Amino acid sequence: MRDNFIEYFENKVKKTIDDYKLVNKKDRTIVACSGGKDSTTTLYLLKKFGYNVEGLIIDLRIGEWSEKNLKNVKHFCEGLGVPLHVLDMRKEFGCSICYIRSGIQSKEKLNNCAICGVIKRWMLNKKARTLKGVRLATGHNLDDEAETVLMTFFKGKPEIMLGAGPHTTGIMDDKFVPRIKPLYFCSNKEVARYSKYRKFPVLYDPCPCSIGTYRRDIRMWLAELERHFPGIKDNIVNNFLALLPAIKKKYNPDRKLRYCSVCEEPSRNEICKRCEMIKILFS
Ligand code: SF4
Ligand SMILES: [Zn+2]
């Protein structure tokens, strides 16, 4: 039973990597590690399949939660013989993510993950590029993607979905490291089961700061729907993939990034979201 599941799961991930040509064996692939089951599984499998991987973790400085995750990831990478790079929020920004968040939230109504996500993406892309990464792998799974699809539909901004899918395609820019999601077709339950079978040293509790977010509401609602209509998450993701070429055609005929006028990092607008947030913080 255990061995069958492990084989099934690993084949599924391998098939995603092959079918979508996510990465070549020799390309340096930076894996964004958080200490959770998804990114740990991603790192483990890419290494197991013979890819050229290095880990990258942001120490967000969310108290004990960050400390435990950092310790686990360091230990795990050592065991696998994978180089690990650590970005420390205190060194990069002079304070923890919590401080940045509360400073912004005292001026604008933005939820924790909206702020943290923007800052993390900015840091990961910049560091992955500095490390000469050809791909940036994340642990996003099927549940995450189903949630993202619904969130963007509900917000009425289909153009945001251009970055969705097993890999970011259509963005050709030297400063942007393309993202890949090897666990794209694996459900949250499957990843948890695999991680437990493998006895990965990970925290299964959600991030203590993910409370009261739009994503968490959608997650709970989707879980309820899935109970009544099994397979609904697969359907959301597969139908989205079928529509993606049409969405790209309409919103992204020739997608070019511009550079933020403040930090010079890739951006869709004149000022990137990260710099907009920092501006709010110091306003
Ligand atoms: S769950 Fe939200 S607040 Fe926590 S690390 Fe992820 S993006 Fe940041
Ligand atoms: Zn910027």
| Domain harbouring 118, CATH code | 3.40.50.620
Please give the number of the atom of ligand 1 that sits closest to the Cα of 113. 2
Residues with CB under 6 A from ligand 1: 60, 112-113, 116-117, 207, 209-210
Any domain includes 273:
no
Q: How confident is the model at residue 162 (pLDDT cuts 50, 70, 90)?
A: confident
Nearest 5°: CA angle at 21, between 20 and 22?
Answer: 90
Any domain includes 95:
yes
Strand intervals (E) in 49-130: 52-59, 84-88
Residue from 101, 210, 214, 215 whose mutation best tests the ligand 1 pocket (most atoms within 8 A of CB): 210
Please give the number of the atom of ligand 1 that sits closest to the Cα of 206. 1
Residues 6+ apart with CB under 8 A from 69: 34, 35, 36, 57, 203
Residue from 57, 104, 113 whose mutation best tests the ligand 1 pocket (most atoms within 8 A of CB): 113
pLDDT tens digits, 106-118: 999 888 888 999 9
Any domain includes 274:
no
Any domain includes 278:
no
pLDDT at 253 over 60: no
Any domain includes 264:
no
Q: How many domains does the chain have?
A: 1
pLDDT tens digits, 180-230: 999 999 999 999 999 999 999 999 988 888 776 788 889 999 999 999 999
Any domain includes 143:
yes
Any domain includes 280:
no
Burial class (CB within 10 angstroms; exposed 0-12, middle 13-18, buried 19+) of 280: middle
The more confident residue out of 158 and 282 is 282
Any domain includes 36:
yes
Domain region containing 116: 2-256
Distance CA 60, CA 50 (A): 30
Q: Look up the pTM and report it.
A: 0.94
